[in-house]
């Protein structure tokens, strides 16, 4: 157990005995520079969090700070960061079979695999992201099969899935291109792009038919895989498609037109080659980590450090992600990704947007997280300097008014 948790628990126990003391989820954050995530930066700003929610934001001079509320000071504070797409919690740091639950290889199409049945909130990599200011993570099944399973959105806290989970079923994860193909291995997965798409279309059509029969006198027996795809067809969750090569991106657009689902593109290494098409389709992009390495078959041969800036310039709803890493380092960190982007066309405001409101909007959770505004969750990252300089540190992390990390990273 994290000593901090012990500390917090100790505090909670104390609270039960001494209720006059302030609640653990009441907190004031006061920062020399408060970057609210709305585009506004407040010098000597405060965020008042009561009962886990933000009740006031503004200059320290004009915001009334309730008596007895603990105050945490920092040089800079930002909204808790939002990681647009990850596999942490399913993928573990050890990189051994027993901690790699992000990809089930037994079949090409398994939309019934729930992330909530696999997510480990105590995983080292989750802690690593938390200590780097990430308070909300969209994670789950990774790329690597045509449909690898579901994703969830979690707050990076808690010791059980129930304490951590924010959106239990956030998206169905799909992959187009080489990443989902087999090369000679005896698996059930397709060997070519055309076969992969044929399999995916057949499954979606099956789900359409399953959906149509729901109102019949004798509805079909429950089918977990099809139920999951019905949620996609009904627009309840998006189909999140990892597609890196331009033809695979265009295929994803074609499928979204045919089946009228909400499409989220991820990876999208070739996004700038088909930028007009992406803009016309009004599809959000969770771009690959800027520091992603290349892949076999050259799927990411065209990766450019300037893609995030170009997507924003074109008006595409864009997010960064920590993505999936198969080796060392085992996860990216969106804070570092955003920082790298500053050298390649991103303004500090855009960098912040790509790890806060950008992903929050794309994931449909912007009413709760992504900026420091009244009514939203009290999720805050504290820094000892410019968040996007590598030489600065995260000095504290707050989720819903609770200090969940005091580690200096």
Partner 1 sequence: MRIMPLRLVLTTLLGLALAAPALAETRAFVGARILSIADDPIDDGVLVIEDSRIVAVGARGDVSVPRDAELVELDAGTVIMPGIVDTHSHIGEVSGADRAGPIQPENRALDSVNLRSSGLKRALAGGITSVHVMSGSGHLISGQTLYLKLRDGNRIEELAYRFEDGAVAGGLKMANGTNPMGDAPFPGTRAKSAALLRQAYLDAQDYRDKRARDEEAERPPRDLGKDALVEVLEGRRIAHHHTHRHDDVITAMRLREEFGYRLVLHHVSEAWKVADEIAAADVPVSLIALDSPGGKLEAIDVSLESGGVLEEAGATVAFHTDDWITDSRYFLRMAAMSVRGGMSREAALRAMTIEGARMLDLADRVGTLESGKDADFVILSGDPLSSRTRVLETWVEGVRRFDLDDPEDRLVAEGGPGALTADDGAGHIHGIDGSTGGGQ
Q: Using the rule CB under 8 A, is 2 a contact of partner 1?
A: no
Of the candidate residues 32, 272, 364, 373, the single one contacting partner 1 (CB under 8 A): 272
Q: Using the rule CB under 8 A, is 383 a contact of partner 1?
A: no
- Angular region, 22: left φ>0, alpha ψ -120 to 50, beta rest: beta
Q: Which stretch binds partner 1 (CB under 8 A): 55-63, 158-166, 175-183, 303-311?
A: 303-311
The span from the CA of 131 to the CA of 125, in Å, is 10
Is 100 within 8 Å of 346 (Cβ atoms)?
no
Smallest distance from the beta carbon of 14 to partner 1, in angstroms?
33
Q: Using the rule CB under 8 A, is 96 a contact of partner 1?
A: yes
Q: Which stretch binds partner 1 (CB under 8 A): 26-34, 49-57, 121-129, 398-406?
A: 121-129
| DSSP bridge pairs for 154 | 137, 165
Smallest distance from the beta carbon of 341 to partner 1, in angstroms?
9
Closest CA to 240 of 287, 201, 290: 287
The span from the CA of 9 to the CA of 225, in Å, is 40
**Contacts to partner 1 from residues 327-346, by CB under 8 A:** 327-333, 336, 339-340, 342-344
Of the candidate residues 234, 298, 367, 374, the single one contacting partner 1 (CB under 8 A): 298
331 Cβ contact list (under 8 Å, min separation 6): 86, 87, 88, 91, 93, 125, 128, 129, 322, 323, 325
Smallest distance from the beta carbon of 130 to partner 1, in angstroms?
12
Q: Using the rule CB under 8 A, is 16 a contact of partner 1?
A: no
The span from the CA of 323 to the CA of 194, in Å, is 25
Tokens 């800036």 identify what position?
Answer: 309
Q: Using the rule CB under 8 A, is 288 a contact of partner 1?
A: no
Q: Which stretch binds partner 1 (CB under 8 A): 144-152, 200-208, 256-264, 298-306?
A: 298-306
Q: Using the rule CB under 8 A, is 296 a contact of partner 1?
A: yes
Of the candidate residues 7, 94, 202, 224, the single one contacting partner 1 (CB under 8 A): 94
Smallest distance from the beta carbon of 331 to partner 1, in angstroms?
5
Q: Using the rule CB under 8 A, is 59 a contact of partner 1?
A: no
Q: Using the rule CB under 8 A, is 247 a contact of partner 1?
A: no
**Contacts to partner 1 from residues 71-90, by CB under 8 A:** none
Q: Using the rule CB under 8 A, is 293 a contact of partner 1?
A: yes
Q: Using the rule CB under 8 A, is 95 a contact of partner 1?
A: yes
| DSSP bridge pairs for 174 | 147, 241
DSSP state of 137: E
Of the candidate residues 148, 316, 393, 395, the single one contacting partner 1 (CB under 8 A): 393
Tokens in use for 39? Answer: 């585009």
Buried b (16+ CB within 10 A) or exposed e, 212-245: eeeeeeeeeeeeebbebbbbbbeeebbbbbbbbb
Tokens in use for 102? Answer: 């992000």
Q: Using the rule CB under 8 A, is 381 a contact of partner 1?
A: no
Closest CA to 398 of 44, 156, 168, 166: 156
CA-to-CA separations, 42 to 37, 199, 352, in angstroms, rounded: 11, 52, 15
Q: Using the rule CB under 8 A, is 237 a contact of partner 1?
A: no
**Contacts to partner 1 from residues 147-206, by CB under 8 A:** none
Of the candidate residues 141, 203, 300, 361, the single one contacting partner 1 (CB under 8 A): 300
Smallest distance from the beta carbon of 337 to partner 1, in angstroms?
9
Smallest distance from the beta carbon of 270 to partner 1, in angstroms?
8
Q: Which stretch binds partner 1 (CB under 8 A): 17-25, 69-77, 141-149, 390-398?
A: 390-398
387 Cβ contact list (under 8 Å, min separation 6): 35, 76, 78, 133, 335, 339, 352, 381, 394
The span from the CA of 240 to the CA of 243, in Å, is 9
For partner 1, the closer of residues 66 and 329 by Cβ is 329
Smallest distance from the beta carbon of 302 to partner 1, in angstroms?
5
Please state whether the peptide bond connecting residue 74 to the residue before it is cis, i.e. omega within 30 degrees of 0. no
For partner 1, the closer of residues 145 and 299 by Cβ is 299
Is 248 within 8 Å of 256 (Cβ atoms)?
no
Q: Using the rule CB under 8 A, is 21 a contact of partner 1?
A: no
For partner 1, the closer of residues 69 and 344 by Cβ is 344
Contact residues toward partner 1 (CB under 8 A) are 92-96, 124-125, 128, 272-273, 291, 293-296, 298, 300-306, 325-333, 336, 339-340, 342-344, 388-393
């Amino acid at each position: 157990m994290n000593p901090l948790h012990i500390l917090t628990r100790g505090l909670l126990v104390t609270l039960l005995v001494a209720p006059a003391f302030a609640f653990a989820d009441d907190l004031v954050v006061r920062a020399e520079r408060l970057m609210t995530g709305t585009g506004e930066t407040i010098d000597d700003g405060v965020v008042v969090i009561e009962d886990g929610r933000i009740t006031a934001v503004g200059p320290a001079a004009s915001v009334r700070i309730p008596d007895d509320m603990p105050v945490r000071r920092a040089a800079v504070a930002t909204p808790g960061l939002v990681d647009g797409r990850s596999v942490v919690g399913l993928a573990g740091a050890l990189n051994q079979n027993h901690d790699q639950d992000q990809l089930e290889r037994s079949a090409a199409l398994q939309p019934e695999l729930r992330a909530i049945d696999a997510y480990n909130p105590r995983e080292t990599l989750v802690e690593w992201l938390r200590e780097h200011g990430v308070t909300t993570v969209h994670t789950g099944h990774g790329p690597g099969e045509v449909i690898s399973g579901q994703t969830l959105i979690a707050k990076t806290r808690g010791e059980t899935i129930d304490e951590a989970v924010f959106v239990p079923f956030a998206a169905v994860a799909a992959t187009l291109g080489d990443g989902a193909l087999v090369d000679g291995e005896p698996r059930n997965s397709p060997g070519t792009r055309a076969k992969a798409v044929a399999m995916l279309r057949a499954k979606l059509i099956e789900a359409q038919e399953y959906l149509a029969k729901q109102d019949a006198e004798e509805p079909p027996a429950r089918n977990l895989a099809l139920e999951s795809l019905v949620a996609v067809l009904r627009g309840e969750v998006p189909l999140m498609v990892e597609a890196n090569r331009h033809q695979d991106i265009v295929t994803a657009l074609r499928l979204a037109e045919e089946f009228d689902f909400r499409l989220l593109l991820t990876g999208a290494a070739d996004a700038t080659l088909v930028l007009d098409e992406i803009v016309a389709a009004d599809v959000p992009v969770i771009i690959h980590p800027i520091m992603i390495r290349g892949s076999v078959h050259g799927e990411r041969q065209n990766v450019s450090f300037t893609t995030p800036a170009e997507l924003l310039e074109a008006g595409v709803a864009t997010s960064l992600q920590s993505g999936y890493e198969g080796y060392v380092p085992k996860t990216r960190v969106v804070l570092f990704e955003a920082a790298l982007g500053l050298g390649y066309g991103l303004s500090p405001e855009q960098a912040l947007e790509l790890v806060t409101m950008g992903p929050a909007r794309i994931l449909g959770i912007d009413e709760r997280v992504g900026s420091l505004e009244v009514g939203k969750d009290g999720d805050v990252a504290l820094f000892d300097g410019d968040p996007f300089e590598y030489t600065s540190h995260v000095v504290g992390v707050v989720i819903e008014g609770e200090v969940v990390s005091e580690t200096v990273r």
